[in-house]
Amino acid sequence: MTYSTEDMARRAAREIPEGSLVNLGIGLPTQVADYLPEGHAWLHSENGLLGMGPFPYEGDEDPNLINAGKQTVTVLPGGSTFDSASSFAMIRGGHVDLAILGAMQVSTGGDLANWAVPGGKVMGIGGAMDLASGCRRVIAMMQHVTKKGEHKLVAKCDYPLTAVRVVSLVITDLGVFEPTGHGFRVIELAPGITHEHAVRSTGAPLI
């Protein structure tokens, strides 16, 4: 059985050290917050929010209190709001301990591609390049292969890059993998996933 997106989010949450400062990317990584114990870590949102809380209760939504995915959120006691320049100074300046980001491709060297599909509609870069190159540690979360079955863990990315040599761990529906330069070290496989299945699904050597 492959990991569900909930399993992946729960697994990613275990990578977050207590008392750390974390940015969760748009999409799947946003769900990681649901599996963090209360008061475990501080969440940063690059539109200018530190100490981000859960979605508001119905009726308490504020259109001017949002996360980077433009969803309504809350701010916890001890939280703060600030302008975009300060927010990216936190990121670029190495003050954010960990970014968990969605990915399209990750290479054995830790290169990340997550902002554009060749020939596809360009959605834009947003904060992805700043987060990937600025945060102290970067974890990528994604399905192990594309809907067409193409490899996403690869020897070399052929999608436009977001940042070079930044990813230290990849969490997929098949397991958890570490880019080592020449291949991907298997940290764990989802229950029932065979090594052969993972090898077949990966575009680089598994170690």
Partner 1 sequence: MTGKHGNKVVASVAEALAPLRDGMTIMCGGFGLSGNPEALIRGVVERGVRDLTLVSNNAGNLGKGLATWLKAGIIRKVICSYIGANEDLHTRMASGEVQVEITPQGTLVERMRAAGAGIPAFYTPTGVGTVVEEGKDVREFDGRRYLLERALHGDIALVRAAKCDHFGNLRFWRTARNFNPVMASAAKLSIVECDELVRNGGIDPDDVHLPGIFIHKIIHVPEHENAFEYKTTRKR
List, by residue number, the catalytic residues.
Answer: 46
Contact call for residue 76 and partner 1 (CB under 8 A): no
**Whole-number minimum distance, CB 60 to partner 1, in Å?**
8
Interaction between residue 196 and partner 1 (CB under 8 A) = no
Among 37, 63, 77, 120, binds partner 1 (CB under 8 A): 63
User: Can you read off the two tokens belonging to residue 36?
Assistant: 């963090």
What single letter denotes the amino acid at residue 122? V
Cα–Cα separations (whole angstroms), residue 35 to 32, 41, 182, 205:
6, 11, 32, 32
* Secondary element (H or E) of residue 138: strand 137-141
Query: Taking the mean position of all CA atoms in its chain, how far away is CA 21?
Result: 14
Bridge partners, residue 186, by sequence: 177
Is 127 a binding residue for partner 1 by CB under 8 A? The answer is yes
Q: Which is nearer to partner 1, 7 or 61 (CB)?
A: 61
Q: What residue ranges bind partner 1 (CB under 8 A)?
A: 45-49, 54-58, 60-66, 69-73, 75, 81-85, 87-88, 91-92, 111, 121-130, 133-134, 160-164
